[in-house]
Amino acid sequence: MSGGKRLRPLLLVLAARMGDPGRDDLLRAATAIEVLHTATLIHDDIVDGAETRRGVPTAVERYGREIAAAAGDYLFAETFSELAGVGDARLIRAFAEASVGLAVGELEQYRANGANVEVEAYLEHIRKKTAGLFRVACVAGGTLGGLSLAQIDALATYGQALGVAFQMSDDIMDLVGKPGLMGKGIGTDLAEGTVTLPVIFALREGDAGTIRRVLTDPSPAPELLEAGIEAVLATDAVARTEEWARGEIEGALRDLDLLPDCPERDFLESVAAEVVGRDA
């Protein structure tokens, strides 16, 4: 009932239906990936102290830290309970590796907040965190569908590239998006000291002093935050980030050539094409 695009289970189902998955196993795995994603959102909101997500109060805002933390832990456990019902060790291993990557990526992000971050460190973080769930969704789907190892590898590459582009698109929307559509305010990442790709570019090309003041201020005033956003937008950082994201999408589409020519593959291509330039 919390809204959202259900994109990760959609990817899993599309990948699986290029083969011949069992209906019950497919439903369990698709449920597991969405439950895992929801668990990570709850934990993110606890750490960030977020008041809203998708335009409604977060679990931590509505019920407090203790209940929200317990709910997030419960959902992590429920993820693997669903996977145990499938009984495929390959899926459990893939989800476990993705979960470890999520945790490591989150720790790396907090360690880097407000500090100097290079492009490669940023990419490594989002590959583990955002792209990891896209990747495991595609791998799990291909596995359930009985696709070949080469086809599953192609799906994994597609999922990771799609996830990277998706995060870059989010980074852009944090600076230029519409609060009503995004479910959060503009400049949230910047205010929290999170160094995103457009910010990395802007630090090199624009008013680095103002941007750093925002990044290092635990609670920047609205005027300072606005100045920081304007400092980023005064450069070509957003355009460069969009260009990079499009390059990721082009790579993702090339990797689909190994997959069967079918409506599901067409849909995967459509999903990729919609990521860059989306409204929310």
Question: β-pairing, 52-53 with 56-57?
Answer: antiparallel
Sorted by where each begins, the domain ranges of the chain are 7-263
State pLDDT tens for residues 61-104.
Answer: 999 999 999 999 999 999 999 999 998 999 999 999 999 998 88
Say if residues 168 and 241 touch (Cβ distance below 8 Å).
yes
CA–CA gap between residue 162 and residue 280 (Å, rounded): 15
Query: Minimal CA–CA distance to 158: which of 128, 134, 129, 122?
Result: 134
State residue 180's pLDDT score.
46
- Compute CA distances 187 → 201, 207, 235, whole Å: 16, 16, 16
- Please state the pTM of the whole predicted model: 0.89
State pLDDT tens for residues 125-151.
Answer: 899 988 999 999 999 999 999 999 999
CATH fold for domain 7-263: Farnesyl Diphosphate Synthase (1.10.600)
State pLDDT tens for residues 254-279.
Answer: 888 889 999 999 999 999 988 876 65
State pLDDT tens for residues 188-220.
Answer: 888 888 899 999 999 999 999 999 999 989 889
Name the strand (E) or helix (H) holding 52. Answer: strand 52-53
State pLDDT tens for residues 8-37.
Answer: 999 999 999 999 998 899 999 999 999 999
In degrees, to the nearest 5, what angle opens at C-alpha 223 toward C-alphas 108 and 175?
50
